Every structure is written in structure tokens, then in C-alpha cells.
Amino acid sequence: MRCKTLTAAAVLLLMMTAGCSTLERVVYRPDINQGNYLTATDVAKLRVGMNKQQVAYTLGTPMMSDPFSNNTWYYVFRQQPGHEKVTQQTLTLTFDSSGVLTNIDNKPNLSGNDTNS
């Protein structure tokens, strides 16, 4: 009888502590980086009037392009460091019909004080 009581108490204690958020920080979570890594230095090299080949040479190939027209490129970088909040950087480049860069939309803006450049 005593063995059953101890087993039941151990199972109950285990079930109660399994959902605790305090144990979440103990578990290792690797940093997850996905997409095109961009620095403020790389984005600063872009100029309106560049052609697609110059942009691709500067930043590499885009993560996505608009499936309905080949005139919009998306560079997306998503970062999830361990137990911290997810951040995402999206750079949208728009070209005209002749392949010349006409618009640069950088959200959120990369600051000039990058430490990883």
C-alpha cells in the first residue's frame, strides 16, 4: 500500500512540474537563423538605378521573388536566438520593366551600428 502511495505521489509531482515555465530555461535551444543575412553595410551599398545583376552581386540571390511579376525581390532574414524573441528583417526591392532598381523598402531599418559586419 505504501509503495502505491509513493508511486502515485511521484507521478503526480512529475505531472505538476512538467508544465512549469521555470524548467523551460534549463532546456538548451540552439539559435535558429533562416534566410538572407543582411548587414547595414550591405544595404547601404544599394542605390536606385542599379540593375538586377548588380543587386545580386551585392546581396546575393533573393529569398523570394514575386511569382506574378519578376520585378520584386524579397530578402528575408529571420533570427530566433535560444529562448529570446524572434526578429525578422525584410528588404523588398522593386525593379521596373527593364530591370532597373526603383524602390528600396527596408523593414525594420537596419541601424548603422552593426557589430556583425
Report whether pLDDT(27) > 50: yes
- Domain locations in the chain? 29-107
Does pTM surpass 0.85?
A: no
Answer with the residue of higher pLDDT: 92 or 14: 92
Taking only the tens place, the pLDDT of each residue in 66-88 is 888 889 999 999 988 888 888 89
Task: Identify the burial level of 55 via C-beta atoms within 10 angstroms of its C-beta, where 0-12 means exposed, 13-18 middle and 19 or more buried.
Answer: buried
Q: How far apart are CA 113 and CA 39, in angstroms?
A: 10
The CATH class, in words, for 29-107 is alpha beta
Q: What's the pLDDT score for residue 76?
A: 92
Report whether pLDDT(93) > 70: yes
The verdict on whether omega for the bond into residue 30 sits within 30 degrees of 0, i.e. cis, is no
Task: Identify the burial level of 95 via C-beta atoms within 10 angstroms of its C-beta, where 0-12 means exposed, 13-18 middle and 19 or more buried.
Answer: buried
Between the CA atoms of 107, 72, 74 and 111, what dihedral angle is there, to the nearest 10 degrees? Answer: -30
Q: What's the pLDDT score for residue 114?
A: 44
